[in-house]
Structure 1
């Protein structure tokens, strides 16, 4: 949050734009400002956003500044600088939007990190067209525990996964989880490794707990 007029206590230091040499306000004439769902302009140089979620609310200025992720510093990243907050935010420092809108962090940093281009399972790269991942529609929701892939990608991944799991008896589906197994007589289970491959050859190896739900006393080999 920015220095705030009406805010809840938070654990970390407030962001102070007066201490940044790269800070700048987003003007009311900016295309960024016009992409907000709800905004008003108290002056030509200020774009004020207003957002309400359930019983919570946040209001503040739309600004630009340098943003650092790990060792990568990106200039002119647009984000909301809160002045007035209330409701159920508790002591969080802020909200990170992970959708595909032009103002959200994934779109603004796409030139640095690229988009998903392939998936591998058990060391085998799935035979998928690049167009499977290039179409709009992807949304990352940090409040949802189940991630969904495009149907073509999911079907291919599920098919290879099932081939790796033929030694285990199949169990009935559980809600949207359609690839289940009965491990009643097993103390150790061999599960294929899954990885996401991004532009530039960057590979994210998924922890098995991120794509497989099982009893705590069961061991993976």
Structure 2
């Protein structure tokens, strides 16, 4: 093998560690070099049929390598296009992020940054007011619970009164009414007796006057 052929073989071996496209190109060069060497040998030996077969085999290898080269190129272009699209998307996101950061910086530089302490103070005041409101709500809930307990106790007492105390009071009131009626009857009787006594006294007084008048005559 000539120096050029050996160099081509070493290039193919070293290129096999590179990209597919480079490997295929180096393989094409190696095949061409080996074909050239084989041509010299076959011409020297005057082997026409063998040379023709070798030439056809080399042509098939070249066609196969050409097809693989086209496929590899297509895959590479497709992958590169996909990577480019992803890179473009990331660049757009980065651009938008930078714009947002720039807007925030502009707002801070325009004086909005001075409002941060005021906003923090307002937030603290709101938190304090919220805590006070929550405390007030808790107290109101406690009062409501106490009120509900009192209402429950009163309802129990009322029910007990309806069941026992009120009937007893009604009986006592009825007894007092009966006593009052008896007292009224007694008062009426005594008033009648008093009237009779007055009448008797009056009659007795008039009889004494008549007797005295008769004696005088």
TM-score (norm 2): 0.17
Higher strand share: 1
TM-score (norm 1): 0.17
Larger Rg over CA atoms: 2
